[in-house]
Amino acid sequence: MKFLETTECIEINNHGKVYTDCMEFSLLRFIQMIFSSEKEINSEGLSNYYTDVNHDLIEVHPDLKSYIERFPKIYKDSNYYLEGEGAREREEWAKFVSDRSYFEYYRPDGAELFTNLYNIIIICKELLGMKLDLEDSEPDNIRIISKNISEYRGSKFQMYIGYKEKDTLDLPVAKILSFVSKPQPDFETLDKPKYSVISKRTILHLIIENTNDDKLSSKEDNILLSGSSLELPKKAKESNYVYNWNLYEVYFKNDKVVSNKFITGHSVIM
């Protein structure tokens, strides 16, 4: 069950930089999940952003507030974001999250966000003002983010890392270059037959409380909050909005090989 529909990436043009916006749109939809009104979405199919809640744990950056003023509505229907004004909003969002020193990008020109947990954590730290320590583990930071959002919304917004897979592959340079949307100049210095790269898959589970549904028992509620199981109880699935944020990333094992180790990846919330 979803209260905001999700969709795949589209090709965007960011001041002449052409690429697909999979991580960009995933982050936008994530932000919309945090600040939308479930009641408005379910009754009207769209919602305002609610960013002015007096809360110590989330402080929306002025830049983000300015962006929201330009695009003040959140639409339930994912088709809205595939063309017309919705597609233009995605393109403007891609520009908004470009060229910010705290993000990690695929391209050497400050565009095309890398598809990793770090970029989820850093947007919460830098644009949502959460007090996060990047020296802490990713699971610890995700737990803090989950707690902060839950308190801000006044209802449970659970996030936990449910699946991680990591492999090392030896790939020829030609194969590596086929993945890259804009090779950086120092790729020309790659002179070995093969290079070791890391292939990594992560699933970040999002379980958002359906405040219109009281079917979830306290026992099942505790199971849901524990984050200990990938298989949620049937009633938990029926009584909450459940998403899987799929992240796939490929990067050089030796981060000294080139100036930017990131090669390719994908992000989609389902």
Contact 107, 182 (CB under 8 A): yes
Do the beta carbons of residue 36 and residue 50 sit within 8 Å? yes
User: How far is it, in rounded angstroms, from Cα 107 to Cα 91?
Assistant: 17
Q: Can you tell me the distance from the alpha carbon of 37 to that of 53, in angstroms, rounded to the nearest whole number?
A: 12
Q: Would you state the pLDDT for residue 235?
A: 56
Task: Report the C-alpha gap between 4 and 29 in whole angstroms.
Answer: 8
Distance, CA of 231 to CA of 62 (rounded, Å):
39
Residue tagged 């002449």 (tokens): 16
Who contacts 265 (Cβ-Cβ below 8 Å, separation ≥6)? 23, 106, 114, 115, 116, 247, 248, 249, 250
Enter the tokens of residue 175: 């194969």
Low-confidence ranges of the chain (pLDDT < 70): 1, 213-238
**What is the model's pLDDT at position 185?**
87
- Report H helices in 194-270: 218-226, 234-239
- Give the sign of the dihedral formed by CA 243, CA 122, CA 124, CA 134: positive
Q: What is the pLDDT of residues 217-252, one digit of tens each?
A: 333 444 444 444 445 555 556 678 999 999 999 999
Domain boundaries, given as residue ranges, for the chain: 11-269
Q: What is the pLDDT of residue 219?
A: 39
In the chain, the largest separation of any two C-alpha atoms, in whole Å, equals: 62
Take residue 47 and report the two structure tokens written for it. 């919602």
DSSP run (H or E) holding 39: helix 38-44
Q: Quick one: pLDDT at residue 53?
A: 80
For 172-181, how does the pLDDT look when each residue is reduced to its tens digit (9 = 90+)? 999 999 998 8
Sorted by sequence, the CB contacts under 8 Å of residue 158 that are 6+ apart come out as: 146, 150, 205, 206, 207, 208, 224, 225, 227
Are 239 and 224 a contacting pair, CB within 8 Å? no
What separation in angstroms does the CA of 53 have from each of 36, 49, 179? 12, 11, 43
Q: Return the pLDDT at 222.
A: 41
